[in-house]
Every structure is written in structure tokens, then in C-alpha cells.
Structure 1
Amino acid sequence: MFAIGLTEEFDDTVTWVIPAGQVPDGELGAEISALPAPAVAGEITVLPRPLRRPARVLLAGIGDGGWRAAGAGIVRALADDEHAQVVLPSGLPEAAVRELAEGLWLGGYRYREAPKPPRSGRVDLVASDISSYVGVVDEARAVARATWLARDLTNTPPSTKNPEWFADQVVSLAADRPGLTATVLAGADLERFGGLLAVGGGSVSPPRFVELSWTPAGPVPHVVLVGKGITFDTGGISIKPREAMRLMKKDMGGAAAVLGATLAAAELDLPVRVTALLPLAENAIGAAAFRPGDVIRHYDGTTSETTNSDAEGRLVLADALGYATERLTPDMIVVLATLTGANAVALGKRTAALYSPDDALAAALETAGTAAGERMWRLPLPADYVEYLRSDIADRHSSPTQVHSVVAALYLREFMGEVTSWAHLDMSAPSWAEDHDLELTKGATGWGARTLIRYLSALHGGQ
């Protein structure tokens, strides 16, 4: 990650960035006053000043409190190796500085394997008293680092990213971090994971199940985060058409987000116990691929009839939830999954669907998502729709053809056991951006990592 610093000293040999509406004294102020002020958050007006200092000034639009968008606009207007100083208004709230730093880092993201090298410039935030901003910039760095990781993992090509590779990344990232423990199950240890074995059965890359635990001293609530980890999804025997398969390297975006959030909880030393569960499989086509019509026995011993091998995510999540409720005694469970494409029709590309029977948990996640810049909309869990899950040959049907997203959430509810405080975020659409969009860069967005970190931080703060 490129550098962001705090300073109380102006340096007129570097580029200055001045928020719209803030006019300095003297000649520079007169020049800025003569320009049309950018009104939209993230909009940048460039003022060249040859043979003067500073030689270049950027006027940044803030809009209606859009500091995160402003940060993204600023970093995109800078050269990769440029040094700039952002002149902060006097008395700027800490939350605004945190959003500005997040926007700078998130807007400046570049995939680690991209042809262009990573940015090497520096942005200093200039204020008369920087002491109050040190903590929020550190928080922004942890949030950005988690999001960058989730983006990197999701952007990684499927020729590299298989379940074993992903599991190895988790083990490596958890190594030498006090309080973090990573456990990987494979082979015979997956005997009870019938959904995971079925979905991964058609691939030459066998499935893995990863448990990553952050256990601080004297933990308070125990939050279990479950992330769908399909490293590539062909649809299996119910094969996807070419265009629908184009972006299926992103089908592990939920696992990437919960991984990033758990690592951030450790980095920020949050006194909240967090366990991330990552069921990892490649849904491929092969002689051992599971078939439409198969009955699958899950970790909790119950069975599912499936008539669509492209409804695979819920099958691996069912095993993870059975594992969580039997072995971990969670206080709450939050599931992140690129589960269905149906939500995009109603909610668009920037909004995830939220399902939860717990009003307090749903409200906490919505608040965290709003603060993080990751929108969600709560949808119902109608009791009469449970009938769609009825099967004549198994405990339930995993892939009925009616109301796809809602019924998928109801299906996951079947595996929550006695846990009543749970939420499912269906985030397939917002997990990918087709172009730069505010703090998002083209490609994987890392959606959910920021929300989860805010949620965990607020949960700690509420104790």
C-alpha cells in the first residue's frame, strides 16, 4: 500500500489538494475563487501554476459529506509516484478524516499481479493538530488492507486460485500473528461435509474447509463469519452459458471478505471473538461431479435434494453452518455469499440483500454498511415460502425454482440450529465493478470486508 501520513507542516514543493469551499489567503486564494467549484464528491479541478509554488493545485469536490469519494478522486488525479498534501479544514471530524484516508487507499488500489507496478507516491494530510487523527488513520489503514486483500484474492485467476491455494494463503496470513489460529480440513477429515464433497467432486482440485479464529484475551461475544468460497463456478453439470461464467472467479468473494475482516480484527486487537469459516471448492464438470437429482447428506446429518448443480453455494454453506452450530457455540452468525444473481434486478450493482430474523442484528449491519459505504437492503423471510423447500425424498429441496434469493436464505436458515441471531448477506452483484466507481476500482470490490470491520468494532464499543 502506498503511504498516507499526517503532518502539521506545509510543503509548497509538492502538489496541494484543497477541498472545495476552503479558500486560502493571498494570490492562491484569488485564483481558486475565480474557478468554478466542483460540486460533486470526487470531482477534481486542476489548477496548474507554472514557475510558482506550489506548481500544481487540485480543488477537490466534497459534495454532501462525500469524503471517501473525494479521497478516491484525489488519488486518481495524482501520478503514481506523486507526492501531495491535502489541506484539511479546521475542526474536521475524525469520521471525515477516516473516510478520506479510506478513499485514498481504496481508490488507489491496483491488483498485485497487474502489469503496472503499484503506486509509490505519498499523500500527507495537513492539519493544525494531527494528534486526534492518528487513530482513525490507523483504522482506515486496517480497513483498506482488508479490502485490498479481498480484492486481490477475488481478482486472482482461477488458473492459480484453487481450494488448496486459497487455504495456503489463509495459513500464511495467520502465521506469526498472536491470537490467530488457522485449521485446514481436507481428504478424510471432510467425511461429514457432504455438500462440500459433492460440489468439489467434479474438480481435479479437491475441496478444503478452513477455520480461522481470532481469540483475544477475555473475549466478549463470539461472532462466526461464514463466507462462500467457490474458487470457480462452471455451474457443474447444469453448466452456465459462456457470458454467465465469465466472472465466476469472483464466486469466493464472500470467503475473501470474511478472511479480510477477521485479519483486521486481529490487527486492530478488537476484544471480540471471531471465527471465520471458509468452505472452499471448485464447481467443475467431471466424471465425479454431482448430478441434478442427487440427495446430499450434510454435516448436521440432514439431507438435501438438489436438481440444479449451479445452486451449489448453499450446499457448501449448509455444511459450514452445521459445523458452526455443533462445534462453536456462536452468539451470532453472519453469512456473506455471492449466492444469487436475482438481487441485481431489484437492488442494482451497489446494494446487497440482507436477510435476518433479528431486528437488532439487521439494524447493526445496516448501520455498519452505511458508515462503510456498502449499501444493503433488508428483505423478508416469508413463512409461507418455506413450502417451496419441501422434498418428497429428502429433508428439504435445495434448489426450487421459485423466488430464488429469498428461498436460498430460507434454505440457509434450516441449518442455523438454535442460533436465532443470524444474518445472510447476498452480495453477488456488488462484489464486482465493471469500471471505476467512486472508491471502487474496476474488478473485485472486496464488498463486505468494510462492513464487517465496522460491525465488529461497534460491537466491541457497545460492550
Structure 2
Amino acid sequence: MPHSIDIVSSITSTDVLVIIGTKAQLHLFDIKKQINIPDLEWNTIINRTNGGLRGQVLTTFVGTRRLFVVTLPHSYSRHNSPSCAWAIPSLLRSIGGADIGIISLAEPDQIAATAYAVARAFPLFNKKTSEKRKETIQLLFKNGQSSFPIQVGLNAVRQAAKYTEMPTNLFGVQEFIDEAKRISDQFGATLEIIQGEELKNRGFGGVWNVGKAAKEPPALIILSWTPDTFQRSIAIVGKGIIYDTGGLSLKSKTGMPGMKRDMAGAAVVLSVFEAAIQLDCSHKLTAILAVAENAIGPKALRPDDIITMYSGKTVEINNTDAEGRLVLADGVAFAAQDIKATEIIDIATLTGASAVAIGKNMGAMCSNSEHLEQIFIDLSKQAGEPLFPIPYAPELFKLEFNSSIADMKNSVKDRANAQASCAAQFIANHLPATQPQWLHIDMSGPTKVGGRATGFGTGALLHFILKR
């Protein structure tokens, strides 16, 4: 059964005790206040600690209680998070037990990132029939408290990962709608659902055409939170491709498995929205989920089709497997034109090229605002979800989409020319001339680690909304 994870001020007796920190922190830690381990045995463990590049786990028994000592990597680069959060999930996943106490020695400014990393180590979704026990985790931060409400953030990370991990037969379009209704009813948010033929009639050509061949009709799900007074209007837009076959540009038998996670962006947006309004977000916040299944059938979108987007621009389809940008472009255009948001953030598993460019542990971001970009560089490190900027250069990348019969094609001419930036540029092509501040996050690389969804992006986006 899934673990519950609770932030506590003291740890009661548990079957398993975990101490996690850097080598220097572990050497200074007074273990006697937590467990009665002989000095010689503790010193032997401490002298063996070596975080190296990936971290280390040492274990022993103290009576009937299992003790794990987790040493974090000894260094980090300027582009990475000081928390070494990237290493924590894999280090903790080998640890099991009915009741686990985790003591983190993280410094106060690294507590949030550490909490989110711990959340990733113990996923909520599990359909194994052999695992029936209810497991609990107590998480204690020894060096103070975070200024950020980390329990809500931790829960949001786990929830986003759960949505992402669930297969399409258990979590599809209707389940997204049901969760949006639950949040609306529970917290008083405004909910609008545009679904099926109504998408077509109202001009959402991207979302409609991508999802029209599927059994479940596509939907644009719009949740809004409007305080009595506010200064900022933020829209967060998530790609929600509940399954991506590639459409008629069909994926291979090895390329298709795992495409249940192509809705990770919408999963993050939904979880962040719920967490933000739980914490009485002081800004106008709009969550836009573009949800569709890219399926094959008699109604499927074809290469060579020309569709009209919500922006009013026409797109010649040359690759039905470049569908995420179509639904996102509609969502972003709606956020700009109808919501009139001053800051628009879209998040998606958009291109494998982003992971090729910057690796699997970081998300890529592309923005028309240097100010917004720098904010996300800083906040994403604090959340342990580092984002790295890729070029924003419309003058270089718009030409990749040239069409002789429409305003643009949906896929690039040259796949070796900054694909991740080009995909982001396609979305930006649908912003109005008076552009709001816009930032695109492509998290294809870090969305899963060790075969499990991570909820990556939840912390960074939540910190952006609440910490400014």
C-alpha cells in the first residue's frame, strides 16, 4: 500500500530509521538523541561514509531496529540544485518497512527540495496485489523549518506523479474532468469544460483535431481562482495527451510504451492549482488543461490536413506525432486572448530533443522574457527541479515551419536544428502581437526516473506562484 508522508517535529518509535545528509553533516550529528547505538559502531559507520558522485547507503541493526545512513553526493555544479535532490529518490528506494522515520540534516534553504525528493522515492500509485500493508513515513528536518509550506508541496508532487503513473484505462479524459470537479467543489474554484464538438465549434482546432479519433472526446478544462483583489494574473497550461500512439505517424513498438505519461504537464498543472488555492493564493490563477488522446481511427488527423487553431492561424500537418504543440498552442492562445493573463507558463513532455540537449535530470525552458527566465532558474534550484534555458530566437526558428499553403507546418524541416527550441517557438507563434510574458517548460527527461513518474516541475511552478 502507498506510504503516507508526514512532516513532523519529532519522530516516534519506528521500525526503520534513516539519517540523510552530507558527510560533513553526518559527522556533526548527535545520533544518541535518536537511537541508542554504541559509539564504536556509529563511528565505524561515519568513517565509511563517502557520498562520491551518486551518494551512498550504509545500514546496520540496532537491536531490532534497522538504521540506514544515507550520504549525499559531495559536490554539485552551479547549474544544479545545492540540495542534491536529484540523488535522493534512488538512494531511498531501496529502503522498505512498515514504519519509517527519516531525519534530514538539510539546511533551511534546502528543506523544500529535500522534501519533494523524498516524495518521489515513495510513489502513491501501486496495483501490486501482494503489497497490502499500510506504510507510514515520518519526515523530520533537524536544522530548522522551511519558510515554505512544504507539506502541501510534498503532497502535490506525489499527486502529480500519481496522475502521471496511472495508465490510460484508469485515468483518462473523464478522470481529469472528475478531479477538476472535485477541486472546484472543495475549494470554490470556477470550472469550465469545453469538450467534444464544442471545441470544434468554438475554434479550438488544435485540441479537437488531435483528439477527435479517440473513444473519449477531447476536452479543454479551465479552472479559475480569483481573489477579491490581486495584482498578477497567472495562467498555467498543461499538455494532457492521455495516450500518444503518434497518430497516423505511428510510433514503434518500443517507442510507444510509456506514452501514458504524455499527460504529465496537465498532471502537474492540476496538482499545482489545487496546492496553490489550498494555500490561499493571492493572485488570479487559471489552470488550463488541454486533454486528448492521440489515437488512430477513421476520424484521425492526417498528414497534409490543414487545420485552423484558436489563434486563427492555419497549420499544415506534416507529422501527427508532433501533437503536443497543437493542444498547447490552443491553451496558450486562450490564456492570452480570453483570460488576458500577464504571465503564461506552459509545461509539457514535448520533445525528446530537450533531454538530448540538457540531459535527463533537468527540464528545458524557453521564454520571451529574460526576467521570467532568471526567476525560474533561481526558484527551480530551490525546489530541487533545475531548469536550464534553451535559445529563444524566433528569427532563427520560425523558418523551420514554412508552408507554401498555410501559415505554418507543425513540425520542423531540419530535425538537427534546435528541435526543442523550435517546438517551443511553434507555441509562441500563436501568442498575440502584444505578447504577455511567456515561459515554456519541456520536462521530457526528468518526468520519470527508474521507471517511475516524478511529478517534476510541481515544486518549481508552485514556488513561482506563491513565493513572489
TM-score, normalised via structure 1 length? 0.86
Shift of 1:291: 1.0
Counterpart of 2:136 in structure 1 is 121
Could you give the per-residue CA deviations for residues 66-101 of structure 1, whole angstroms, max 9, x where no partner exists?
474686478546433124363x66xx6423443443
Letter in 1 for 2:56: E
| Secondary structure, aligned partner of 1:327 | helix
Corresponding pairs, count = 439
Amino acid paired to 1:7: S
Match of 2:425 among 388, 410, 421: 410
Is 1:106 the counterpart of 2:131 in the alignment? no
Equivalent of 2:291 in 280, 284, 289: 280
Partner residue in 1 for 2:217: 206
The equivalent of 2:398 in structure 1 is 386
Give 1:197's aligned amino acid.
W
Tell me if structure 1 keeps the 8 A contact 2:113–2:384: no
1:424 is aligned to 2:440: yes
Q: Report the equivalent of 2:465.
A: 456
Q: 1:27 to 1:236 in 2, by over 3 A?
A: closer
Residues 357 and 422, structure 1, Cα contact 8 Å, conserved in 2: yes
Q: Give the secondary-structure state (helix, strand or coil) at the position aligned to 2:223.
A: strand
Deviation of the 1:424 alpha carbon: 0.9
Task: Name the stretch that deviates more: 34-43 or 384-393.
Answer: 34-43
Report the aligned-residue RMSD.
Answer: 2.7
1:252 offset after TM fit, Å?
0.8
Q: Percent identity?
A: 28
Partner of 1:182: 191
Match of 2:163 among 133, 153, 167: 153
Q: In the superposition, relative to structure 1, how do residues 108 and 298 fare at CA in structure 2: closer, same or farther (>3 Å)?
A: same
Structure 1's unaligned 5+ residue stretches are 436-441
Per-residue deviation at 1:30?
3.2
- Residues 236, 4 of structure 1: CA spacing in aligned structure 2 closer, same or farther, 3 A cutoff? same
Alignment-derived partner of residue 45 in structure 1: 58
CA 1:355/1:118 → structure 2, altered by over 3 Å: closer, same or farther? Answer: farther
Runs of at least 5 residues in structure 2 that lack an aligned partner in the other structure? 75-81
Q: Is the 8 A contact 2:98 2:135 kept in 1?
A: yes
Deviates more, 1:392-401 or 1:281-290: 392-401
1:6 paired to 2:22: no
Counterpart amino acid of residue 38 in structure 1: T
Amino acid at match of 1:111: F
Residue among 205, 218, 224 paired with 1:194: 205
Residues 37 and 59 in structure 1, CA contact (< 8 A), matched pair in contact too? no
Q: Which moved more, 1:213-222 or 1:269-278?
A: 213-222
Tell me, in whole angstroms, the C-alpha distance in 2 between the residues paired with 1:348 and 1:31: 40
Q: Write the deviation string for residues 206-230 of structure 1: whole angstroms up to 9, x where unpaired.
A: 1111001122342221111111111
Distance 2:133 2:377 in 1: 33
Equivalent residues in 2 for 1:254-333 (5 A)? Answer: 254-333=265-344
Amino acid aligned to 1:292: P
Instruction: Give SS of 2:299's match.
Output: coil
Corresponding residue SS for 1:176: helix
Q: The residue matched to 1:282 in structure 2 has which SS?
A: strand
CA distance in 2, matches of 1:120, 1:233: 34
